[in-house]
């Protein structure tokens, strides 16, 4: 760790992040990897549908940025999904390819036929969901898990056991379930699944510590949802307790409020914890834009990391800081450089909230001569324009308005 991990060439965050009182209990693993679930869990977002070509494009983009594991889909869902999984499994393009399966032998057979290296195997893991959602006897979940995970092991697959609704289960009951599957069936890894995004960060710490104590030899993975906006914080809390794998999606697409977004999680690790997990963050913006286009969704303009307006500065005082600091001291104004995530350089823009320095900067940009009083008149006209149009000005709109004001 450098002497000032909070202040590097690419970012400037809080020095308190690295105070010894903060870091003394960290148990981050040496290697943290991304297991991307965009092609499977991401597609479960209402209204998203990826065809074969869409999934191949997204998978190639994920491979390009260095994602280590890729969940290619669930072969049993459709012939198109099976074709995608088979195609990606046979490629040597970087990520290790997994498929998703219910804890059923027939599902595992499909994964074997597809040629994947590993399989994520789901089973309902809360008694209330088993009885009310599935209408099963409780023992059925255990029996299916033991039978199917044993079969997957015998076929040479890596098995990550994935207990659905883990965090709303009775802890003793679900731990007994996992222990039986581990002894009588098989698991190479255990996913800590917060299906409903219903866990606080304090409960997450307790949850991970409990699992580490009960199953010390089983690698743990974090699969959390964003229903209360806690997924990123919970993921980082879990990692700090020794969890090794982040299950995430591009843009956080996924069921209901979505999965944990990869971009924000990776950047938080990099800039707030000085943990680089080998992902090419400079390609985040391009990848996010591609996935948004394919998914037919709009990225909020102020979305962290990849929003279009993140580095457009309208506020007068902040624009003054930006113009005074310039490129060299950019991170005095921004927490990280836009180039770190593939964004365009910061710019002072014109709108209702702009100040006199924004206006002078734009007058200079168009080589329009104006004294202090005239520049203020232009600024007032810009503010009135902003109230009417409720958006930022375009170049030609400002040039026309400024010339009209000065001529009159």
**pLDDT, tens digit, 9 for 90 and up, residues 344-368:** 999 999 999 999 999 999 999 999 9
Q: Please, are residues 307 and 292 in contact by the beta-carbon 8 Å criterion?
A: no
- What is the C-alpha to C-alpha distance for residues 265 and 248, in angstroms, rounded to an integer? 9
- What is the C-alpha to C-alpha distance for residues 368 and 403, in angstroms, rounded to an integer? 8
Give bridge partners of residue 190 from the DSSP assignment.
161, 220
β-pair type (33-36, 347-348): unpaired
3-state secondary structure of 352: coil
Q: Which two tokens stand for residue 62?
A: 């994920």
Structural domains in the chain, sorted by start: 15-295 (3.20.20.70), 312-407 (no CATH)
Q: What's the pLDDT at 213?
A: 96
214: enclosing H helix or E strand = helix 201-214
Q: Which two tokens stand for residue 377?
A: 């008149």
3-state secondary structure of 260: coil
Three-state secondary structure along 240-253?
A: HCCCCEEEEEHHHC
Q: What's the pLDDT at 141?
A: 72
Q: What is the DSSP secondary structure assignment for residue 16, as one 8-state letter?
A: G
State the residue for tokens 């702009």: 354
β-pair type (245-248, 33-36): parallel
Each of the 408 residues of the chain gets a pLDDT tens digit; together they read 579 999 999 999 999 999 999 999 999 999 999 999 999 999 999 999 999 999 999 999 999 999 999 999 999 888 889 999 999 999 999 999 999 998 889 999 999 999 999 999 988 766 666 667 566 665 677 888 899 999 999 999 999 999 988 898 888 888 988 999 999 999 999 999 999 999 999 999 999 999 999 999 999 999 999 999 999 999 999 999 999 999 999 999 999 999 999 999 999 999 999 999 999 999 999 999 999 999 999 999 999 999 999 999 999 999 999 999 988 999 999 999 999 999 999 999 999 999 999 999 999 999 999 999 999 999 999 999 999 999 999 999 999 999 999 998
Q: Please, are residues 340 and 282 in contact by the beta-carbon 8 Å criterion?
A: yes
How many angstroms separate the Cα of 57 from the Cα of each of 69, 110, 260, 329? 16, 23, 21, 37
- Conformational region of residue 170, where left means phi above 0, alpha means psi within -120 to 50, and beta covers everything else: beta
- What is the C-alpha to C-alpha distance for residues 377 and 406, in angstroms, rounded to an integer? 8
Q: Please, are residues 285 and 295 in contact by the beta-carbon 8 Å criterion?
A: no
Q: What's the pLDDT at 170?
A: 86
Q: Please, are residues 82 and 315 in contact by the beta-carbon 8 Å criterion?
A: no
Q: What's the pLDDT at 34?
A: 98
Q: What's the pLDDT at 58?
A: 98
The C-alpha angle with vertex 50 and arms to 225 and 59, in degrees rounded to 5, equals 75
pTM attached to this predicted model: 0.94
Q: Which residues lie closer than 8 Å to 10 by C-beta, 6 or more apart?
A: 271, 331, 336, 337, 339, 340
189-217: burial string, b at 16+ Cβ within 10 Å, e else = bbbbbbbbbebeeeebbebbeebeeebee
């Amino acid at each position: 760790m450098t002497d000032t991990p909070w202040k590097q060439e690419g970012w400037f965050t809080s020095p308190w992040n690295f105070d010894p009182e903060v870091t003394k209990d960290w148990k981050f693993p040496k290697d943290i990897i991304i297991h991307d679930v965009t092609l499977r869990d991401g597609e479960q977002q209402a209204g998203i549908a990826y065809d074969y070509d869409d999934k191949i494009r997204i998978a190639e983009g994920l491979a390009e940025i260095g994602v280590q594991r890729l969940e290619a889909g669930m072969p049993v869902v459709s012939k198109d999904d099976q074709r995608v999984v088979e195609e990606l499994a046979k490629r040597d393009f970087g990520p290790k390819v997994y498929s998703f399966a219910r804890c059923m032998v027939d599902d595992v057979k499909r994964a074997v036929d597809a040629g994947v290296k590993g399989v994520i195997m789901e089973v309902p893991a809360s008694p209330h969901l088993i009885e009310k959602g599935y209408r099963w006897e409780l023992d059925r979940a255990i029996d299916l898990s033991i039978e199917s995970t044993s079969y997957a092991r015998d076929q040479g697959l890596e098995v990550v056991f994935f207990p659905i609704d883990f965090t709303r289960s009775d802890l003793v009951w679900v731990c007994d379930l996992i222990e039986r599957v581990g002894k009588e069936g098989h698991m190479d890894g255990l996913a800590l699944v917060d299906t409903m995004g219903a866990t606080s960060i304090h409960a997450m710490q307790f949850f991970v510590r409990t699992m580490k104590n009960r199953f010390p030899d089983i690698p743990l993975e974090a699969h959390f949802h964003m229903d209360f906006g806690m997924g990123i914080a919970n993921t980082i809390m879990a990692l700090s307790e020794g969890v090794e794998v982040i299950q995430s999606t591009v843009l956080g697409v996924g069921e209901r409020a979505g999965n944990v977004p990869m971009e924000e999680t990776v950047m938080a690790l990099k800039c707030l914890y000085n943990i680089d997990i080998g992902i090419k963050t400079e390609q985040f913006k391009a990848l996010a834009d591609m996935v948004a286009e394919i998914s037919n969704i709009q990225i909020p303009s102020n979305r962290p990391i990849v929003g279009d307006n993140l580095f457009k500065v309208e506020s007068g005082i902040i624009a003054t800081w930006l113009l005074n600091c310039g490129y060299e001291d950019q991170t005095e104004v921004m927490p990280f450089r836009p180039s770190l995530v593939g964004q365009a350089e910061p710019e002072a823009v014109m709108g209702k909230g702009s100040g006199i320095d924004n206006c002078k900067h734009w007058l200079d940009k168009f080589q329009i001569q104006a004294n202090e009083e005239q520049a203020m008149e232009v600024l007032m006209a810009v503010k009135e324009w902003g109230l009417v149009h409720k958006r930022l000005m375009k170049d030609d709109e400002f040039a026309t308005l400024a010339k009209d004001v000065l001529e009159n």
